[in-house]
């Protein structure tokens, strides 16, 4: 059986005031991206509708609970963004992606 890590959300490194959890790095995953965004209920206006067709990433929404964002393209090497690394910088919004 493969090794695996289990952590509670409160054991993962938070950034952006606790809104964003660095799940991938906190769990030690290296072949795909995985972050948790802790959003308030009915936050549709807060989090704009968008897609990741250009990156191959997927997102799973659970109303009022959490968003689990998975990234990576099957068969391609995964290179995590610096803001997802433990102790890394906070992300900066890309105005071109917010429309």
**For the chain, what are the domain ranges?**
1-71
* CA nearest neighbour of 47 among 72, 11, 89, 16: 16
Provide mean pLDDT across the span 24-41. 81
For 3, 32, 44, 93, the CA distances from 79, given in Å and listed in that order, are 21, 8, 29, 19
Cα distance between residue 78 and residue 76, in whole Å: 6
Cα distance between residue 54 and residue 25, in whole Å: 23
Q: What does R_g of the chain's alpha carbons equal in angstroms?
A: 14
Percent of the chain with pLDDT over 70: 57
- Using pLDDT thresholds of 50, 70 and 90, give the confidence band for residue 86: very high
The pTM assigned to this predicted structure is: 0.65
């Amino acid at each position: 059986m493969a090794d695996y890590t289990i952590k509670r959300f409160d054991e993962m490194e938070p950034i952006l005031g606790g809104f964003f959890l660095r799940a991938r790095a906190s769990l030690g995953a290296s072949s795909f991206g995985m972050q948790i965004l802790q959003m308030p209920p009915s936050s549709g206006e807060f989090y704009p509708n968008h897609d990741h067709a250009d990156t191959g990433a997927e997102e799973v929404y659970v109303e009022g609970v959490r968003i689990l964002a998975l990234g990576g393209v099957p068969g391609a090497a995964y290179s995590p963004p610096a803001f997802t690394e433990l102790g890394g910088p906070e992300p900066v919004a890309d105005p071109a992606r917010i429309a």
